[in-house]
Amino acid sequence: MKFSIAHTNFNVFDLEKSLAFYSKALSMHEERRSVAPDGSYIIVFLGDGTGSHKLELTWLRDWDRPYDLGDEEFHLCFIAEDYDRAYALHQEMGCICQDKKSPRGLYFIKDPDGYWLEIVAPKA
């Protein structure tokens, strides 16, 4: 039996703010959107244009507070083709939340809802 990963879901408090963040910080773009007939939710799938794995952002109309992310001990990882340029962009955006300054080249950024995203350099 073979499985392949399809998507990862993040629930977001402010969909437009999240879409702007993922577009600017990670060059992700909207691939498809589902809106509940009664307007109670919007689901947006983002892609990076290279792989089949999608990021699903779910907005719930009746959710009235930021999401509790617990101890922030989970994350998604992205490979930055141009690591130094990505680092400079994320520094400018003020979204770097942990900078390992490791020789491996990795750091973490936070999205508007507090989800951690690991940024790594391509393997040499």
Full-model pTM: 0.86
In the chain, what are the domains?
Answer: 1-63 (3.10.180.10), 72-124 (3.10.180.10)
Q: pLDDT at position 4, please?
A: 78
Question: Rounded mean pLDDT of the chain?
Answer: 91
Q: What is the pLDDT of residues 6-41, one digit of tens each?
A: 999 999 999 999 999 999 999 999 999 999 999 999
Residue 78 near residue 90, CB atoms below 8 Å: no
Mean pLDDT of 75-96: 93
d(CA 9, CA 87): 25
d(CA 108, CA 39): 34
